[in-house]
Amino acid sequence: MNQQNMRYIIFLSIVAALGGLLFGYDTAVISGAEQSLEVYFIDSLGLSTLFQGLTVSSALIGCIIGGLISGVLSNRIGRRNSLIVAAVLFFISAVLSSYPEFLFFTKGDPTIGLFIMFNIYRIIGGIGVGLASGLGPLYISETSPANVRGKLVTLNNLAIIFGMLVVYIVNWRIAAGQSLSWIQDIGWRYMFASEAIPALLFFGLLFLVPETPRYLIMKNKDEKAINILTKVNGSKDAAKAIYQEIKQTVDTRNPSKTNTFSYGKLVVLVGILLAAAQQFVGINVILYYAPRIFANMGAAADSSMLQTILIGVVNFIFVLIALTLVEKLGRKPLLLIGSVGMAVGMFGIAALSFVESMGLGALLFILVYVAFYNLSFGPLVWVLASELFPNKIRGQVMAITVVANWGSNLLISSTFPSLLEVGAGVAYSFYGIMCILSFIFVWKLVPETKGKTLEEIEEYWKGAKETTFVTNDKGMSQKKASL
């Protein structure tokens, strides 16, 4: 593949990955504003910690909605146009979350109505996240050749982590040198408003990229699809060969009505469990509540945000490492290694919590956990989700996967404050147990997809109704059984 083609492929992937950057930005911006929102809404209105958890997690309700509609939307208006919708939602949420009093309420006079509207604006942004979280990797996987697909889909997760790192730095810079009262009155508004800038950039760049070839073939726009495949793959002959392979596996009649279980239940189950495992291991407890966790260790407000940047740096470094290893070691080995490392990190935090020694040692275990998460479950769940599902059901099953992911995120994030009241050691031990269960699930059920075209992967699932997969680090093998 020549350099010109790779430049084009990388350009398409970077534009789609900006949705991942906004995904990371929107989900992590709450970490800097969380304690200010507690003062502005929860304390002043006399609400319980349950409402604090729901406020931190309200965007996740939107993520679930976005996931629910992503399959239908992407099949009807296309992958690219669905991402344009996501960009608009990001912008609206950024502006209105920063000034929820717009039109109907008085600034500085929190009411239940204002509290509800703030959460509605966060839900709007969450819908954008729900769309981008599934459709970004889907767009990249459907425009990338098999030999670089894993790296390029991992690029989407790198963008998610970069978005988190950027917003951690933005939050820190906004809070640096300011009084606590200023942060609680004005600072948190700037944090939310800052997201409008990358949202506008994402919106503009999406008009410079085409629809995916697989979607165009599903809509019988074969000539356009071949033109894009030619530009990506470097020659008309290669494009036509790939076109024929795709044509045999897509439903050009009505893809939205294809039976979701037409390839058996196993492929859907693996997608759901992968998505749930990514959240049940507890990553967003660390990301959403990082300043609060560090404050509980004795750090000042701006210092706790500075320590949060350290998490962002570790995130970024280890996603880069995953990017270099995903096509060498494969998806499954990295997931298994990551599960073990995350378990060590979570059980270490739990042990220190039980002995009430949440100092430097706890910070080190948090960084161990974050490092192994971003070496494995962070980027690779979305890589696998973009690869595993056959063409005919990819939109529907990706939507189910996204819903399972964000539903699990909502459950874990909203219950953390209440679980913390039971005991920090108990909370972190629970997440450690989830890491162990995730190891067993990956070992037993998740197949390796390294180096296979999307159509080759589909061939493996065609036998799923009659065959159980026995998987190992080298790939997929089959053992006759009935599911």
Whether 366 and 233 have beta carbons less than 8 Å apart is answered as no
Q: Please determine, for residue 463, whether its predicted confidence score (pLDDT) is greater than 70.
A: no
Global confidence as pTM:
0.72
User: What CATH number should be reported for the domain holding residue 154?
Assistant: 1.20.1250.20
Q: Please determine, for residue 148, whether its predicted confidence score (pLDDT) is greater than 80.
A: no
Interval 312-336: pLDDT, tens = 788 889 988 988 888 888 889 999 9
Structural domain includes residue 267: yes
Q: Please determine, for residue 14, whether its predicted confidence score (pLDDT) is greater than 80.
A: yes
CA distance 366 to 378: 15
Enter the tokens of residue 76: 């009807």
- pLDDT, mean of residues 367-395: 84
- pLDDT computed for residue 75 by the predictor: 85
User: Which pLDDT band, with edges at 50, 70 and 90, does 466 fall under?
Assistant: very low
- pLDDT, mean of residues 334-356: 91
Q: Please determine, for residue 3, whether its predicted confidence score (pLDDT) is greater than 50.
A: no
- pLDDT computed for residue 120 by the predictor: 94
- pLDDT computed for residue 123 by the predictor: 94
User: Which pLDDT band, with edges at 50, 70 and 90, does 369 fall under?
Assistant: very high
Structural domain includes residue 124: yes
Domain encompassing residue 144: 3-209+258-477
- pLDDT computed for residue 360 by the predictor: 74
Q: Is 454 exposed, middle or buried (0-12, 13-18, 19+ CB in 10 A)?
A: buried
Structural domain includes residue 234: no
**Measured in Å, how far apart are the chain's first and last C-alpha atoms?**
41
Structural domain includes residue 237: no
The one-letter amino acid at 32: G
User: Which pLDDT band, with edges at 50, 70 and 90, does 290 fall under?
Assistant: low
CA distance 155 to 260: 28
Where do we find the tokens 């506008």? Answer: 200
CA distance 391 to 369: 35
Full DSSP string of 56-69? HHHHHHHHHHHHHH
Interval 170-180: pLDDT, tens = 988 898 878 88
CA distance 483 to 359: 49
C-alpha triplet 425, 426, 428: angle, nearest 5°: 65
Structural domain includes residue 239: no
Q: Please determine, for residue 254, whether its predicted confidence score (pLDDT) is greater than 60.
A: no
Query: Counting every residue, how long is the chain?
Result: 483
User: Which pLDDT band, with edges at 50, 70 and 90, does 110 fall under?
Assistant: confident
- pLDDT, mean of residues 88-113: 90
Q: What is the tally of structural domains in the chain?
A: 1
Where do we find the tokens 């197949």? Answer: 447
Q: Please determine, for residue 411, whether its predicted confidence score (pLDDT) is greater than 70.
A: yes
- pLDDT computed for residue 242 by the predictor: 78
User: Which pLDDT band, with edges at 50, 70 and 90, does 474 fall under?
Assistant: very low
* Long-range contacts formed by 207-212: CB under 8 A, 24+ apart: 207/84, 208/15, 209/11, 209/12, 209/15, 209/16, 209/80, 210/12, 210/80, 211/78, 211/79, 211/80, 211/81, 212/78, 212/79, 212/80, 212/138, 212/139, 212/142, 212/143
Give the percent of the chain with pLDDT over 90: 25
- pLDDT computed for residue 313 by the predictor: 84
- pLDDT computed for residue 480 by the predictor: 37
Average pLDDT, the chain: 82
- pLDDT computed for residue 294 by the predictor: 63
Highest mean pLDDT among 97-101, 290-294, 303-307: 97-101
Which of the pair, 160 or 472, is modelled with greater confidence? 160
- pLDDT computed for residue 354 by the predictor: 86
- pLDDT, mean of residues 66-86: 90
Q: Please determine, for residue 194, whether its predicted confidence score (pLDDT) is greater than 80.
A: yes
Structural domain includes residue 219: no
Highest mean pLDDT among 16-25, 99-108, 196-205: 196-205
Q: Please determine, for residue 301, whether its predicted confidence score (pLDDT) is greater than 90.
A: no
Highest mean pLDDT among 73-82, 256-265, 389-398: 73-82
Phi–psi pair at 249, nearest 5 degrees: -115, -5
Whether 60 and 408 have beta carbons less than 8 Å apart is answered as no
Structural domain includes residue 400: yes
Structural domain includes residue 217: no
- pLDDT computed for residue 478 by the predictor: 42
Which of the pair, 40 or 52, is modelled with greater confidence? 40
Q: Please determine, for residue 253, whether its predicted confidence score (pLDDT) is greater than 70.
A: no
